């Protein structure tokens, strides 16, 4: 069954009845393999209340149906440059035109390119069900490889980032074995708030190196208070990334991922210092 | 809520339409099956290939990832909606024709739609903008460069082109592909694109285990529980011999396994039924119980003395072996001043054509007709006949357009299944492989484990080479014997090596069969030999290119099989043509690296290759037929399957010139085993050479027949006019009105049929003899940039020189070179298939449009006296030197030698760290 709800309330009613949310469908169809979709789906891709990307004094609110193409086009502060750089590298244009930021989160792949840039924005997710609404930090929402705390009757309605300091710059670096349409081997997002040449705030997140992408607090702490100049990335050492737990797979070895993560973290910091947004390496 | 009854309204290619399908149906499926828009190609059903790209409100999306309900009220454009009345479309198509940007044409609809979306907002895109816009569509044939060029300069074209074909001298001209318009319109019929309305759909039940015995359960109960599933077939239903294989003496593969599955993905049963029932069927519920057995998954396991035999008749799991020996290797190496040696490995490589295997079969009385994508119609015919227990003449194979083959579509895929089901049910049956099914079950490039030892004297001359290799041939023979025989002949490369020994074995494992893939093992051997040459040159203190020039094989030299070519060995000329770029690149790299402060280092590498055209010491004839029609036109019965490489164009070019007729006078009759004579298989770089020769012979015979008809001598000239031939000579001009002449049973005034079989001799016990009538040769320069901290390699430029004897159509030759180089780049940097892991196109990576650098092609035309107009093959040649040239460039940039392909970032980084460790140790 396919439902196109008129509003969120209707969506929640169908969810309570056991239907699943469908938006970009870029993960749902591949999971079905060669067989047609079966089951009940609620298509929220055209739900106006879930569509926009809104910026106000307090927060940036990314609606659940906002696509990666919407993200690239949105007028947002430099803290979102990393997320936009990731948006340009999610699959290819065809995927970016359909796939949503919310879907990338709910699919919960360890290789979700959107997650590290969202983590450095301290984002939360808004969840709704007939039982009520709740809000969770993104870092708590994704609980494992393909696992989230989304209840079966819940929908992720928005991704919300507190309005960042206008001085917070960000960068995203993606490492893959080819230029386009590639699942990352490692990716890193970093943001630095540089005021008067000094790093006031530092945020670093690494993806593909653990079941869930994670912030690297130890590395962040090393940077705060440091002068923001070329070579700053060198302050990060391998032990700072000890929290990572990469695995071997068809794309790379675990040892390589650990090694590359350090290089990418250092480079992402340099990109922030230079005010560049990054992209594929 | 939406349901099927209400239908979904949309603007489809400018017209209001209502589609009455399930709202959750994939848009790609609905467009193809319900709307008949079969220009929408399905390559993966997962958003990994972009072949199904359509425009929704002007923006590209993958139709396979969009459900029908989501396009309600939107405007959808498919290839069928792109009209030449739109100047953007017309110019783009003209540019595609001019540049040869469509080869097989299966990705072309998706590419064109993505490009049109770009050009509508940006008429003159930069190269980078074009790449960003097209990054989501994979092409396996072209190497993308022609596509980039066509998109970037589409604005400068005035459509249409290609209408003006030359009146004479077609050979050597850059004619646009004769079948190009079909490919660019999306109207070309590929394997999945046509089927009778009452066809049933077949799906195979396949082993999830690499090695398992199995017992089938209650099939009747399963049928009863699945309405719409009409029949189940198992090995017991095969009426003939349940064994097939491309080389009859080694045929060992059952159409449906008999009690034991020997690789993951082997078919154990076939279910056939109505479309919807079959699409929804969960084959994992099929009643079969498995007894998993230990599987041999590596060469070491398979070669262990204790190993179980994959096939009882093949001791030691050795399928076969090949050997070439000349001179005295031990003495040659002992007499060398420098000897280098090394071990090298490669993995399974997947062909990854964008068209998965597909076709349909129908029974017509006591005959079976199979229309499917294939590279080898007559071989399909003979094997299907054996499986069905009928005569070959009872089988008709009608090849569709082939959406890429590269060797794997030489073997049977869907044919035995649809043939068996249609034969038994007396109803048409179709089958389309899913992408995972295609990757899991069809043949691969052989993984190789190679050792080589090569010596040279102080003056830089090669003395001896000792080479041995084991090739993992998987569970069934396929082309394993060909690889084992071809590699020892080629492992020397096109160099003078007086003392030589090469042995190669094909070894069975419980893995997917390895078969033919562009080069039959030679690209693997070349990785070993060409890298060791660099090491030798380094030891000798010689420039790497000059070392190769010094040792290059020339006409008059003996090859390692003792063959001496009197002409047409233009390898040295290829190397010499590379000199200017080589020197410039070395200088540029030196200055870049001298100034490099960061993590980027550049390098340049070169590698050579040769490749014998046609079968190794075996007969492989082609037969061509020409018919003169009463209207004065010629029917060319062109049985050579064009898999994108261009035989539909170059064979008519040669035929027209041999006939002395304008090419436009030829009507091409496409391959069909009931209609066209046997042109052999499209493999071994043989169609231009072998079928081209047959076409030339047939054309000459036709000329002779016309002259005899006019009762004039050889010196007379033949002109052509509607309904007439004009004979002119010493006695003046004479018009022969064809409409007054009698026609034969086929409606022809005259027919001519000729066969060409390359002159070769058998190889003796030492592999000495004349295995090929002609070799193509060439060399590539790769310029790379390595991120030494990440091990990521970018190829910046390729310069490719090939001796093609005569470039019948330089644009198509360059297309083969660029496409081959792209596959070589993939082999070098990213392609490896791990059975059981990643049977899809996001884990198995092939180059995208952003991975291919500019390619400069240099065509050397050292004519072969046995080639048609001097021509040699190019199809496989172009892939072989790319990977070793890239590996040699990586070494030049970093000092790290890559001994295991592909050079993925982790392997390159590891090799760089190993070199550093070695240096540090050396320093202590």
- By the 8 A CB rule, do A189 and A205 touch? yes
- Predicted confidence (pLDDT) per residue in B255-272, tens digit: 999 999 999 999 999 999
CB contact under 8 A, B62 and A95: yes
Of A22, A29, A260, the CB nearest to B26: A29
Residue B135 with chain A: CB contacts under 8 Å: 92-93, 179-181
Whether the CB of A129 is below 8 Å from some CB of chain B: the reply is no
What residue of A is the nearest CA neighbor of B831?
A177
What residue of A is the nearest CA neighbor of B838?
A250
DSSP assigned state of B300: H
CB contact under 8 A, A260 and B905: yes
3-class secondary structure, B600: strand
Of B50, B279, B904, the CB nearest to A35: B279
CB contact under 8 A, B909 and A178: no
Q: How far apart (Å, rounded) are the C-alpha atoms in residues B134 and B519?
A: 29
CB contact under 8 A, B50 and A94: yes
Q: How far apart (Å, rounded) are the C-alpha atoms in residues A67 and A24?
A: 8
What residue of B is the nearest CA neighbor of A179?
B850
Average pLDDT, chain A: 97
Residue B277: pLDDT over 80: yes
- By the 8 A CB rule, do B23 and B12 touch? no
> Residues with Cβ < 8 Å from B330, sequence gap 6 or more?
none
Q: How far apart (Å, rounded) are the C-alpha atoms in residues B419 and B737?
A: 46
Q: Which helix (H) or strand (E) holds B626?
A: strand B622-628
Residue A51 with chain B: CB contacts under 8 Å: none
Whole-angstrom distance between the N-terminal and C-terminal Cα of chain A?
43
Residue B519: pLDDT over 70: yes
Q: Which helix (H) or strand (E) holds B777?
A: strand B775-787
CB contact under 8 A, A178 and B60: no
> Residues with Cβ < 8 Å from B472, sequence gap 6 or more?
B298, B299, B302, B348, B446, B447, B448, B449, B507, B509, B511, B514
Residue B74 with chain A: CB contacts under 8 Å: none
DSSP bridge partners of B55 = B60, B77
Residue B847 with chain A: CB contacts under 8 Å: 178
Q: How far apart (Å, rounded) are the C-alpha atoms in residues B76 and B69?
A: 12
The pair of three-digit structure tokens given for residue B914, joined into one six-digit string:
């190993």
Whether the CB of B53 is below 8 Å from some CB of chain A: the reply is yes
Q: How many contiguous H segments (helices) and E segments (strands) does chain B have?
A: 22, 31
> Residues with Cβ < 8 Å from B697, sequence gap 6 or more?
B624, B658, B754, B755, B756
Q: How far apart (Å, rounded) are the C-alpha atoms in residues B60 and B42?
A: 15
Residue B160: pLDDT over 70: no
- Predicted confidence (pLDDT) per residue in A40-53, tens digit: 999 999 999 998 99
CB contact under 8 A, B66 and A1: no
Residue B284 with chain A: CB contacts under 8 Å: none
Q: How far apart (Å, rounded) are the C-alpha atoms in residues A124 and A107?
A: 16
Shortest Cα distance from B796 to chain A (angstroms)? 13
Q: How many contiguous H segments (helices) and E segments (strands) does chain A have?
A: 10, 15
Phi/psi at B210 (5° precision): -70, -30
Pairs from B908-913 (Cβ < 8 Å, separation ≥ 24): B908/B786, B908/B791, B908/B792, B908/B793, B909/A256, B909/A259, B909/A260, B909/B789, B909/B790, B909/B791, B910/A253, B910/A256, B910/B791, B911/B791, B912/B786, B912/B788, B912/B791
- Predicted confidence (pLDDT) per residue in A219-235, tens digit: 999 999 999 999 999 99
Of A25, A88, A263, the CB nearest to B790: A263
Residue B849 with chain A: CB contacts under 8 Å: 179-180
Q: How far apart (Å, rounded) are the C-alpha atoms in residues B80 and A109?
A: 37
pLDDT of residue B270: 98
CB contact under 8 A, B135 and A181: yes
Residue B139 with chain A: CB contacts under 8 Å: none
pLDDT of residue B159: 64
- Predicted confidence (pLDDT) per residue in B331-372, tens digit: 999 999 999 999 999 999 999 999 999 999 999 999 999 999
pLDDT of residue B730: 83
Shortest Cα distance from A201 to chain B (angstroms)? 27
- Closest C-alpha among A154, A141, A77, A75 to residue A112: A141
CB contact under 8 A, A256 and B791: yes
CB contact under 8 A, B905 and A252: yes
If pLDDT is split at 50, 70 and 90, which confidence band does A150 have? very high
If pLDDT is split at 50, 70 and 90, which confidence band does B399 have? very high
pLDDT of residue B1: 53
The pair of three-digit structure tokens given for residue B733, joined into one six-digit string:
């001009």
Of A26, A29, A177, the CB nearest to B830: A177
> What average pLDDT does range A181-190 have in this prediction?
98
Q: How far apart (Å, rounded) are the C-alpha atoms in residues B770 and B563?
A: 5
Q: How far apart (Å, rounded) are the C-alpha atoms in residues B754 and A147?
A: 67
Whether the CB of A247 is below 8 Å from some CB of chain B: the reply is no
Q: How far apart (Å, rounded) are the C-alpha atoms in residues B214 and A127?
A: 48
Shortest Cα distance from B904 to chain A (angstroms)? 7
Residue B437 with chain A: CB contacts under 8 Å: 34
- Predicted confidence (pLDDT) per residue in B544-578, tens digit: 999 999 999 999 999 999 999 999 999 999 999 99
> What average pLDDT does range B303-326 have in this prediction?
98
Residues 62-101 of A with CB under 8 A from B: 69, 88, 91-95, 97-98
Q: How big is the CA angle at B735 (ends B734 and B740), to the nearest 5 degrees?
A: 135
Average pLDDT, chain B: 97
What residue of B is the nearest CA neighbor of A231?
B598
Q: How far apart (Å, rounded) are the C-alpha atoms in residues B90 and B77?
A: 16
CB contact under 8 A, A43 and B67: yes
What residue of B is the nearest CA neighbor of A42?
B1
pLDDT of residue B163: 62
Q: What is the ipTM of this complex?
A: 0.97
Q: Report the interhelical angle of B571-595 vs B882-894 (nearest 10°).
A: 30
Helix, strand, coil shares of chain B as percentages rounded to 5?
A: 35, 25, 40
Of B47, B790, B834, the CB nearest to A250: B834
Whether the CB of A250 is below 8 Å from some CB of chain B: the reply is yes
Whether the CB of B899 is below 8 Å from some CB of chain A: the reply is no
Shortest Cα distance from A161 to chain B (angstroms)? 29
Alpha helices for chain A (secondary structure H): 8-16, 28-32, 68-73, 81-87, 93-98, 101-107, 115-119, 138-141, 217-223, 254-274
> What average pLDDT does range B644-667 have in this prediction?
97
Q: How far is CA A228 from CA A221, A267, B221, in A?
A: 14, 13, 73
Bridge pairing between strands A168-175 and A278-280: parallel
> What average pLDDT does range B744-764 have in this prediction?
97
pLDDT of residue B162: 57
Of B61, B842, B848, the CB nearest to A179: B848
Does the global pTM surpass 0.90? yes
Q: How far apart (Å, rounded) are the C-alpha atoms in residues B550 and B553?
A: 9
Concatenated DSSP letters of B452-501: EEEEE-TTS-EEEEEEEEEEEEESS-TTHHHHHHHHHHHTT-SB--SEEE
Alpha helices for B235-281 (secondary structure H): 275-280
CB contact under 8 A, A181 and B132: no
CB contact under 8 A, A178 and B830: yes
> What average pLDDT does range A59-87 have in this prediction?
97
Residue B322: pLDDT over 80: yes
The pair of three-digit structure tokens given for residue B147, joined into one six-digit string:
């596509």
Residue A181 with chain B: CB contacts under 8 Å: 48, 50, 135-136, 138, 842, 848
pLDDT of residue B796: 98
Whole-angstrom distance between the N-terminal and C-terminal Cα of chain B?
76
Whether the CB of A13 is below 8 Å from some CB of chain B: the reply is no
> Residues with Cβ < 8 Å from A137, sequence gap 6 or more?
A122, A123, A124
Q: Is A108 left (phi over 0), alpha (psi -120 to 50) or beta?
A: left
The pair of three-digit structure tokens given for residue B57, joined into one six-digit string:
């409100």
Of A30, A179, A263, the CB nearest to B46: A30
> Residues with Cβ < 8 Å from B651, sequence gap 6 or more?
B624, B636, B638, B640, B687, B688, B691, B692, B695
Q: How far is CA B535 from CA B259, B617, B827, B888, B891, in A?
A: 51, 33, 21, 9, 10
Q: Which helix (H) or strand (E) holds B27?
A: helix B27-29
Alpha helices for B47-194 (secondary structure H): 87-99, 108-121, 127-134, 145-152, 180-185
Residues 169-208 of A with CB under 8 A from B: 175, 177-183, 185
Residue B717: pLDDT over 80: yes
Cβ burial A244-275 (10 Å sphere, 16+ → b, else e): bebeebebbbeebbbbbbbbbbbbbbbbbbee
Q: How many Cβ atoms sit within 10 Å of the Cβ of residue A197?
A: 9
If pLDDT is split at 50, 70 and 90, which confidence band does B729 have? confident
CB contact under 8 A, A177 and B114: no
Whether the CB of B220 is below 8 Å from some CB of chain A: the reply is no
């Amino acid at each position: 069954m396919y439902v196109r709800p008129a509003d969120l309330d209707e969506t929640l009613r169908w969810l309570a009845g056991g239907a699943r949310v469908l938006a970009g469908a870029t993960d749902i169809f591949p999971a079905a393999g060669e067989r047609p979709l079966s089951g009940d789906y609620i298509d929220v891709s055209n739900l106006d209340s879930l569509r926009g990307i809104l910026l106000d004094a307090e927060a940036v609110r990314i609606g659940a149906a906002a696509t990666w193409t919407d993200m690239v086009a949105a007028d947002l502060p430099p803290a979102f440059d990393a997320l936009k750089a990731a948006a340009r590298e999610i699959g290819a244009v065809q995927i970016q035109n359909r796939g949503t930021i919310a879907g990338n989160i709910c699919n919960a792949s360890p290789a979700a390119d959107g997650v590290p840039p969202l983590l450095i924005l301290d984002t939360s997710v808004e969840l709704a069900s007939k039982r009520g609404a709740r809000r969770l930090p993104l870092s708590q929402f994704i609980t494992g490889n393909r696992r989230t705390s989304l209840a079966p009757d819940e929908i992720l309605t928005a991704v919300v980032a507190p309005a960042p300091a206008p001085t917070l710059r960000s960068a995203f670096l993606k490492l893959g074995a080819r230029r386009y349409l590639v699942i990352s081997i490692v990716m890193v997002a970093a943001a630095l708030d540089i005021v008067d040449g000094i790093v006031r705030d530092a945020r670093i997140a690494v993806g593909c190196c653990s079941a869930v992408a994670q912030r690297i607090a130890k590395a962040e702490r090393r940077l705060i208070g440091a002068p923001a100049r070329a070579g700053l990335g060198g302050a990060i050492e391998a032990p700072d990334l000890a929290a990572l737990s990469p695995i071997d797979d068809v794309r790379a070895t675990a040892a390589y991922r650990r090694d590359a993560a350090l290089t990418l973290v250092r480079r992402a910091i340099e990109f922030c210092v230079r005010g560049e947004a990054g992209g594929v390496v | 809520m939406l349901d099927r009854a209400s239908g979904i309204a949309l603007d489809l290619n400018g017209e209001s339409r209502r589609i009455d399908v399930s709202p959750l149906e994939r848009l790609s499926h609905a467009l193809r099956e319900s709307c008949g828009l079969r220009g929408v190609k399905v390559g993966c059903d997962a958003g990994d290939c972009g072949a199904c790209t359509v425009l929704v409100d002007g923006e590209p999306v993958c139709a396979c990832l969009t459900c029908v309900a989501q396009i309600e009220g939107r405007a959808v454009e498919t290839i069928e909606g792109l009209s030449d009345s739109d100047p953007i479309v017309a110019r783009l198509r003209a540019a595609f024709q001019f540049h040869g940007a469509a080869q097989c044409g299966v990705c072309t609809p998706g590419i064109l739609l993505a490009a049109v979306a770009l050009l509508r907002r940006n008429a003159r895109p930069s190269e980078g903008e074009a790449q960003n816009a097209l990054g989501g569509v994979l092409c396996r044939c072209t190497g993308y460069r022609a596509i980039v060029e066509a998109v970037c300069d589409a604005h400068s074209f005035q459509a249409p082109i290609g209408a003006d074909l030359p009146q004479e001298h077609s050979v050597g001209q850059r004619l646009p592909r004769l079948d190009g318009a079909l490919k660019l319109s999306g109207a070309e019929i590929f394997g999945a694109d046509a089927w009778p309305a009452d066809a049933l759909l077949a799906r195979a039940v396949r082993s999830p285990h690499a090695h398992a015995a199995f017992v089938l359960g209650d099939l009747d109960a399963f049928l009863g529980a699945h309405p719409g599933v009409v029949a189940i077939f198992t090995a017991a239903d095969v009426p003939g011999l349940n064994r097939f294989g491309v080389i009859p003496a080694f045929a060992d593969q059952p159409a449906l396994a008999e009690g034991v599955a020997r690789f993951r993905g082997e078919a154990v049963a076939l279910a056939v039924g109505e479309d919807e029932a079959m699409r929804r069927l969960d084959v994992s519920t099929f009643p079969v119980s498995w007894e998993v057995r230990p599987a041999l998954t590596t060469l070491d396991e398979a070669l262990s003395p204790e190993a179980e035999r994959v096939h009882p008749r093949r001791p030691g799991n050795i399928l076969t072996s090949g050997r070439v020996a000349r001179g005295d290797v031990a003495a040659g190496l002992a007499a060398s001043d420098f000897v280098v040696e090394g071990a090298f490995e490669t993995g399974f490589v997947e062909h990854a054509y964008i068209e998965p295997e597909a076709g349909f079969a129908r029974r017509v009385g006591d005959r079976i007709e199979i229309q499917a994508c294939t590279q080898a119609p007559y071989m399909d015919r003979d094997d299907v006949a054996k499986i069905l227990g009928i005569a070959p003449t009872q089988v008709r194979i009608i090849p569709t357009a082939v959406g890429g083959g590269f060797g794997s579509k030489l073997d049977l895929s869907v044919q035995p299944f649809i043939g068996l089901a249609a034969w038994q049910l007396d109803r048409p049956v179709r089958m389309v492989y899913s992408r995972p099914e295609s990757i899991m079950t069809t043949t691969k490039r052989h993984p190789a484990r190679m050792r080589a030892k090569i010596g040279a004297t102080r003056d830089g001359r090669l003395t001896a080479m000792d080479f041995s290799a084991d090739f993992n041939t998987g569970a069934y023979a396929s082309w394993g014997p060909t690889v084992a025989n071809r590699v020892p002949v080629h492992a020397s490369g096109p160099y003078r090596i007086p003392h030589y020994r090469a042995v190669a074995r094909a070894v069975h494992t419980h893995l997917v069969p390895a078969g033919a893939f562009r080069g039959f093992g030679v690209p693997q051997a070349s990785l070993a030999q060409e890298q060791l040459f660099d090491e030798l040159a380094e030891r000798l203190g010689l420039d790497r290119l000059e070392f190769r020039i010094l040792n290059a094989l020339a006409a008059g030299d003996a090859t390692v099989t003792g063959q001496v070519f009197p002409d047409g060995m233009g390898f040295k000329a290829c190397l010499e043509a590379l000199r200017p770029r080589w020197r410039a690149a070395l200088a540029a790299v030196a200055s870049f690296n001298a100034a490099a402060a960061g993590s980027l280092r550049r390098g340049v590498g070169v590698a050579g290759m040769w490749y014998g055209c046609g079968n190794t010491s075996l007969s492989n004839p082609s037969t061509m037929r020409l018919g003169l029609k009463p209207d004065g036109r010629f029917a060319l019965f062109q049985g050579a399957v064009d898999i994108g490489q261009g035989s539909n164009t170059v064979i008519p070019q040669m035929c027209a010139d041999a006939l002395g007729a304008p090419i436009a006078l030829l009507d091409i009759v496409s391959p069909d085993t009931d209609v066209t004579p046997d042109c052999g298989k499209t493999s071994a770089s043989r169609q231009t050479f072998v079928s081209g020769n047959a076409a030339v012979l047939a054309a000459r015979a036709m000329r002779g027949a016309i002259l005899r008809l006019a009762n004039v001598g050889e010196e007379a000239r033949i002109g052509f006019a509607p309904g007439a031939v004009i004979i002119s000579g010493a006695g003046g001009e004479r018009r022969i009105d064809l409409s007054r002449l009698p026609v034969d049973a086929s409606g022809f005034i005259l027919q001519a049929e000729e066969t060409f079989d390359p002159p070769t001799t058998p190889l003796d016990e030492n592999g000495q003899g004349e295995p090929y009538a002609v070799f193509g040769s060439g060399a590539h320069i790769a310029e790379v940039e390595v991120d030494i901290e990440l091990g990521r390699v970018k190829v910046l430029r390729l310069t490719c020189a090939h001796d093609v004897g005569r470039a019948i159509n330089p644009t198509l030759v360059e297309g083969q070179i660029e496409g081959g180089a792209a596959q070589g780049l993939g082999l070098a940097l990213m392609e490896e298939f791990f059975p059981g892991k990643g049977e899809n196109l996001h884990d198995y990576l092939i180059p995208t449009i952003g991975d291919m650098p500019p390619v400069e092609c240099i065509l050397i035309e050292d004519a072969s006296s046995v080639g048609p107009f001097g021509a040699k093959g190019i199809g496989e040649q172009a892939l072989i030197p790319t990977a070793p040239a890239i590996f040699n460039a990586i070494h030049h940039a970093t000092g790290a030698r890559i001994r295991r392909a592909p050079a993925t970032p982790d392997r390159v980084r590891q090799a760089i760290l190993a070199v550093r460790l070695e240096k540090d140790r050396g320093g202590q």
